Amino acid sequence: MRLPFPPILIYALRRLIQAVPVVVLIMIGTFILLKLAPGDTVDALVGDMGGADAAFIERLRAEYGLDQPVYVQLWVYMSKLATFDFGWSFVYEQPVTRVLLDRLWVTLTLMATSLGFAFCIGIALGAFAARRVYSTTDNVISTLGLVFYATPSFFLSLMMILLFSVKLGWLPVGGIQTIAAFYTGWDHLVDVALHLVMPTAALSLIYLSFYLRLMRASVLEVMELDYVRTARAKGAGEGWLMIHHIMRNALLPVVTLLGLQFSTVLGGSVVVETIFTLPGLGQLAYQSVIQRDMNTLMGIIFLCSIIVVVVNFLTDLLYARLDSRIELA
């Protein structure tokens, strides 16, 4: 007997149930690894103060609950996490939730623009190169993809700062906005967009090469399938074949890679945000590791886990939309 629920709802509930133990295991594993690392929040605070006596350090550690066994600390933290209480940031002196929300939009904007640019330009160049396979155009595009793939994002970031900011003065060096300008409305949006040009380019070019090469190979494979040959024999134009027959099936592996690389972009944003001093989750994660702000770091990991789960879910939906043979049940 079929349940009176749409397949998409059943699929979403099943994925949600599957995601819960995954996220819990990630949080438990991360908590234990951080506890195995030398030092804690109190050590970082005492270091910033220039030192303190042993009695004060013990009182501070007891106040923060760090004198308890690891399993007790884990139980307390996971109990609070079950109510979405991420705790208190001892470095920023405010709730972790507020710290994360203040910086989340920067990272999401950077990731969305970077992946969007890499995906759209990558599949366009890949399809264009496949249409002119083994030609000069194909060789130039493939070479550019190889160069983008081999260039580290930190090196590209520094070179762009040197050229476009220091030498030419076209783009701001870093930050997310010009604070002293007090822009509002459209001027504020333009200012933010200018600050994101170089970080987006530095983060997206390496992923653009992935999509380019994969799309080229996928289009070449689909072009040799029987149904494409049949459509061509019936007189279908090359443009019609590419848009209505080839691209839809050729996009399937590229969409899969898009979902898998979302977590990789989260890791790559740490380097880019640090170089361009963007106030996002990547830079916050780096600072939290240095300052041993464990509650903030755990909150970042939890938030990133949720983002990856949601993106993978949306990728599966898009995959099913592109391939009608897939049923969400």
In this predicted structure, what is the pLDDT of residue 1? 46
Q: Which of 203, 36, 15, 10 is nearest to 106 (CA)?
A: 203
Distance, CA of 27 to CA of 135 (rounded, Å): 51
pLDDT at 104: 87
Q: Residue holding tokens 């990991």? A: 301
* Residue for token pair 């070019």: 205
HSE, CB side, 13 Å, CA atoms: give it for residue 169. Answer: 0
| Cα separation, 69 vs 305, whole angstroms | 26
Instruction: Report phi then psi at 94, rounded to 5.
Output: -160, 165
Residue 163: Cβ within 10 Å count: 13
- Digit-coded pLDDT (tens) for 255-310: 777 777 777 777 778 888 888 888 888 888 888 888 888 888 888 889 888 888 88
- Mean pLDDT value of segment 173-194: 80
Adjacent-strand bridge partners of 94: 89
Secondary structure element (H or E) that encloses residue 89, with its range: strand 88-89
Specify the CATH architecture of the domain 99-322: Orthogonal Bundle (1.10)
Instruction: Give residue for tokens 């220039």.
Output: 50
User: 117, 287, 311, 105: which is closest to 202 by C-alpha?
Assistant: 117
Query: For residue 246, is pLDDT > 80?
Result: no
Cα gap 301→96, rounded to integer Å: 12
Closest residue by Cα to residue 248 from 282, 225, 278, 281: 225
- Tens digit of pLDDT for each residue in 16-73? 888 888 889 989 998 888 888 777 777 777 776 666 777 777 887 787 777 788 888 8
> Chain-wide mean pLDDT for the chain?
81
CB 198 within 8 A of CB 171: yes
Backbone phi, then psi, for 35, in 5-degree steps?
-70, -30
Amino acid at position 216, single letter: R
User: CA distances (Å), 271 to each of 16, 196, 266, 295, 298, in order?
Assistant: 31, 14, 10, 21, 19
- In which residue ranges of the chain is CATH 1.10.3720.10 found? 99-322
Specify the range with the lowest mean pLDDT, choosing from 110-114, 180-184, 198-202. 180-184
3-class DSSP assignment, residue 88: strand
- Give 322's pLDDT tier (boundaries 50, 70, 90): low
Average pLDDT of the segment spanning 95-113: 88
Q: What is the mean pLDDT of residues 107-115?
A: 87
Distance of CA 39 to the CA centre of its chain: 29
pTM of the model: 0.79
Q: In whole angstroms, how far apart are CA 74 and each of 24, 96, 302? A: 12, 17, 15
**In this predicted model, which residue has the larger pLDDT, 64 or 327?**
64
